[in-house]
């Protein structure tokens, strides 16, 4: 009747709420701004720092982990991102998203309008493995030799028809205006693009197709071609990047090629193979979603630090 369980020093009932708040605030701070020579915190690091600062006399990393998990705070995890800095971000991104929804200047696209997403995948390395790769077997995954010889590099330029799931691609020694011109001609000299009313080219702001000069240049090459730039640092709006991710997974990883011609052959053969089962990407992110996202980003950037958690 008189038995009571022993309570550990880390029992949450022994810590006042203010301690929990201070530990969570510490977890939500950048170590470098706190004078701590770390790039990111672990729960053990936070526990040690809380003791060193006199926030608490004793605490374990497991207790810190439980407190942080309650609010989904994970300072040991990092996600790279680029903050939108283009002053016309919403306007430029909105035009691209409208095209994906089949709209231009508030009007539906016609049956003879096409949307092309284009970009370059640069510096694809030909890595020739010192020992031949081994296929998988029962109880053994495929093996790829760690050591390799560099056999050169090339660039892969691709254009993805957003609504038809048609892909055009070519390999070049390097990127540039002339290489981009060859890709454009490859698409625009083929039907139905040659006779189309309008062909919208969605591109980023890379050096091969940057600025209003590029817009005029494309129109000069092909009068029915209209270039539409994504905002600066917004490659995620360019659908061809999805195709590039497929290329990376299915063709280029692992990299085991005797030379650049082997890469070119594999890439161009994959194009034909992929079109046998490819479908338009299910792009669901709309202009409305964009505005809601930008509103959340703006609100988060303006939120006081003591409320950022």
Q: Mean pLDDT in the chain?
A: 91
Q: Which residues contact 61 (CB under 8 A, 6 or more apart)?
A: 42, 43, 44, 46, 47
Residue 306 has pLDDT above 80, yes or no: no
Residue 79 has pLDDT above 70, yes or no: yes
Q: What pLDDT score does 307 carry?
A: 44
The percent of residues above 70 in pLDDT, for the chain, comes to 93
The percent of residues above 90 in pLDDT, for the chain, comes to 85
| Range 5-9 average pLDDT | 45
Q: What pLDDT score does 194 carry?
A: 98
Q: What pLDDT score does 302 carry?
A: 64
Tell me which of 251 and 299 has the higher pLDDT: 251
Tell which CATH architecture fits domain 89-133+147-288: 2-Layer Sandwich (3.30)
Q: What pLDDT score does 303 carry?
A: 57
Q: What pLDDT score does 11 carry?
A: 54
Q: What pLDDT score does 24 carry?
A: 96
Convert the pLDDT of each residue in 117-176 to its tens digit: 999 999 999 999 999 999 999 999 999 999 999 999 999 999 999 999 999 999 999 999
Convert the pLDDT of each residue in 254-303 to its tens digit: 999 999 999 999 999 999 999 999 999 999 999 999 999 889 888 876 65
Q: What pLDDT score does 231 carry?
A: 94
Q: What pLDDT score does 299 carry?
A: 82
Convert the pLDDT of each residue in 97-121 to its tens digit: 999 999 999 999 999 999 999 999 9
What would the 3-class secondary structure string for the chain be?
CCCCCCCCCCCHHHCCHHHHHHHHHHHCCCHHHHCCCCCCCCHHHHHHHHHHCCCCCCCCHHHHHHHHHHCCCCCCCCCCCCCCCCCCHHHHHHHHHHHHCCEECCEECCCCEEEEEEEEEEEEEEEEECCCCECCECCECCECCCCEEEEEEEEEEEEEECCCCEEEEEEECCCCHHHHHHHHHHHHCCCCCCCCCEEEEEECCCHHHCHHHHHHHHHHHCCCEEEEECCCCCHHHCCHHHHHHHHHHHHHCCCCCCCHHHHHHHHHHHHHHHHCCCCCCCCCCCHHHHHHHHHHHHHHHHCCHHHCC
pTM for this one? 0.81
Q: What pLDDT score does 5 carry?
A: 40
Band the pLDDT of 81: cuts 50, 70, 90: confident
Q: What pLDDT score does 162 carry?
A: 97
The C-alpha atoms of residue 164 and residue 304 are separated, in whole angstroms, by 47
């Amino acid at each position: 009747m008189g038995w009571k369980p022993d309570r550990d020093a880390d029992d949450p009932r022994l810590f006042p709420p203010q301690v929990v708040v201070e530990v969570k605030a510490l977890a939500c701070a950048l170590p470098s701004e706190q004078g701590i020579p770390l790039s990111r915190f672990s729960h053990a690091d936070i526990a040690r720092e809380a003791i060193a600062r006199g926030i608490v006399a004793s605490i374990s990393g497991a207790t810190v982990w439980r407190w942080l998990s309650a609010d989904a705070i994970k300072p040991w995890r990092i996600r790279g991102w680029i903050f939108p800095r283009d002053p016309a971000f919403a306007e430029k991104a909105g035009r691209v998203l409208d095209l994906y929804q089949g709209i231009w200047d508030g009007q539906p696209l016609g049956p003879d309008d096409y949307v092309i997403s284009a970009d370059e995948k640069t510096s694809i390395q030909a890595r020739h493995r010192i020992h031949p790769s081994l296929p998988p077997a029962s109880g053994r995954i495929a093996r790829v030799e760690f050591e390799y010889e560099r056999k050169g590099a090339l660039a892969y330029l691709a254009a993805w028809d957003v609504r038809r799931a048609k892909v055009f691609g070519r390999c070049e020694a390097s990127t540039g205006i002339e290489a981009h011109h060859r890709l454009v001609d490859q698409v625009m000299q083929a039907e139905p693009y040659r006779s189309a009313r309008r062909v919208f080219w969605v591109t980023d702001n890379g050096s091969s197709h940057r600025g209003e000069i590029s817009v005029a240049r494309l129109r000069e090459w092909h009068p029915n071609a209209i270039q539409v730039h994504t905002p600066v640092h917004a490659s995620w709006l360019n659908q061809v990047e999805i195709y590039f991710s497929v290329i990376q997974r299915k063709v280029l990883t692992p990299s085991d090629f005797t030379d650049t011609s082997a890469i070119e052959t594999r890439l161009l053969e994959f194009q034909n193979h992929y079109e046998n089962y490819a479908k338009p990407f299910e792009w669901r992110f709309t202009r409305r979603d964009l505005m809601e996202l930008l509103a959340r980003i703006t609100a988060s950037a303006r939120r006081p630090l003591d409320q950022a958690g």
